[in-house]
Every structure is written in C-alpha cells, then in structure tokens.
C-alpha cells in the first residue's frame, strides 16, 4: 500500500526531516505503509554527506544537514519536492536511483521536455541550443532497506537562488526550470503526472 500526502503550505525543512525519520522507523517496524509526500519548502540550502564547504557561496538562506547522499542543493517555492519513503523490494541502490531518474524523465516527456542522464553527474539534465542545464535533483538515504528523501523538480522557482551554492558540486553547468523552458505548468498538473508516472515505474 502507498499513502499519498500533499502539503499546500510551505513546509520547513526540520519538520520534513523529522517526519521522514519517524515514518521510516514505522515502516521498518511494519506499522506504516510506504509514503509519497508532495511539498514545497521555503528558500533554503541542504548539504549532503559529500558537501564541500567551498561550494556554499552565500548564507542568504538557512543551511540544513540533510543526511542524504550528495552535496549542496537548493529548495524553495516553485520547486516540486517529492519525498519517497519506501521499503525497497530489491536491495540494489543503483537500480533504485535509476528508477527515480526514469520517473523524472518520463514525467518530463509528458510535458514534451527531453530529460537525460549524464555520466558522472547526478540529476536530470536538459539541453537547449547546445547548452546543458539541470532541471531536477535527487538524493536518497537508506536505513534497513527503507529509502527516503527523494526528488526535486524545478517547475518555476527563483533560479537566482541557486547562485548561493555550487549545485551538487558542479560549477560548469547551470540550472533551469520548466518556466525557463517556456512552459507555464500548473503545479497540480505536474503532481498528477508525477503520481501517474510513479505508479508506472514502481507499481502500485
């Protein structure tokens, strides 16, 4: 079974992290079902376990230790975050990451956007006029084969906020959004597509 939660108000990061940690404990104990949580955060930066202090360029927003893999990431309004708390049926982290990537790629395809993987670079990338930019990030943590954290898709965030970090430690390429690509997409529509494509990739 799978519980779907959608928050219409901005959710502070510490509350979200606390919820995920508790939910993972409950899933491990067999007292709760898997969960998808759709939300937006107020502007903030998170640091993963591989974050380098030199990649934090500004302190304009709060910085939180996320506990997930990866480096610095920005979250803020206009970015759809989906936290996936899920017991992994197959104990293969690489396969799970590939599923998360495919979920994003399939979602973008429904919006006529070609999202692609790049060797050696985390996240999903798009190319326009010969310029590559990152449109979605992902990060996971696993405890006793229950995964949490998830994905962040740039729908219409303030892209200037990304300038306070080196996103995921990659300075050669920028970030983009559906809005910057010329798509005005309602967040509810994005959510509907994300949920539909999640079911196709992961099953019910």
pLDDT at residue 152 in the model: 97
Report the CATH number that the domain containing residue 180 is assigned in CATH: 3.30.930.10
Kindly name the residue from 39, 124, 168, 175 that is annotated as catalytic.
168
Report how many domains make up the chain.
Answer: 1
Helices (H), the chain: 13-28, 93-110, 187-202
Residues of the chain with pLDDT under 50: none
Question: Domain limits at 45?
Answer: 2-202
Assigned token pair, 181: 């690509």
Between CA 163 and CA 109 the distance in angstroms is 27
pLDDT at residue 128 in the model: 86
pLDDT at residue 30 in the model: 97
Entry pTM: 0.95
Pairing relationship of beta strands 72-75 and 131-143 according to DSSP bridges: unpaired
pLDDT at residue 170 in the model: 60
* 168 among known catalytic residues: yes
């Amino acid at each position: 079974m799978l519980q779907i939660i959608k928050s219409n108000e901005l959710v502070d990061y510490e509350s979200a992290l606390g919820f995920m940690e508790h939910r993972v404990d409950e899933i491990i104990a067999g007292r709760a079902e898997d969960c998808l949580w759709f939300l937006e955060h107020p502007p903030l930066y998170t640091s993963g376990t591989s974050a380098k202090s030199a990649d934090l360029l500004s302190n304009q927003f709060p910085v939180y230790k996320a506990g997930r893999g990866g480096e610095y990431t920005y979250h803020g309004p206009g970015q759809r975050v989906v936290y996936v708390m899920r017991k992994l049926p197959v104990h293969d982290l690489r396969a799970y990451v590939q599923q998360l990537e495919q979920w994003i790629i399939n979602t973008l395809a429904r919006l006529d956007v070609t999202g692609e993987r790049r060797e050696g670079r985390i996240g999903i990338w798009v190319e326009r006029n010969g310029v590559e930019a990152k449109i979605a990030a992902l990060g996971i943590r696993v405890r006793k084969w229950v995964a949490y954290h998830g994905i962040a898709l740039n729908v219409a965030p303030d892209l200037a906020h990304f300038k306070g970090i080196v996103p995921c430690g990659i300075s050669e390429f920028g970030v983009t959004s559906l809005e910057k690509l010329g798509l005005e997409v309602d967040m509810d529509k994005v959510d509907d597509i994300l949920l539909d494509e999640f079911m196709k990739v992961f099953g019910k």
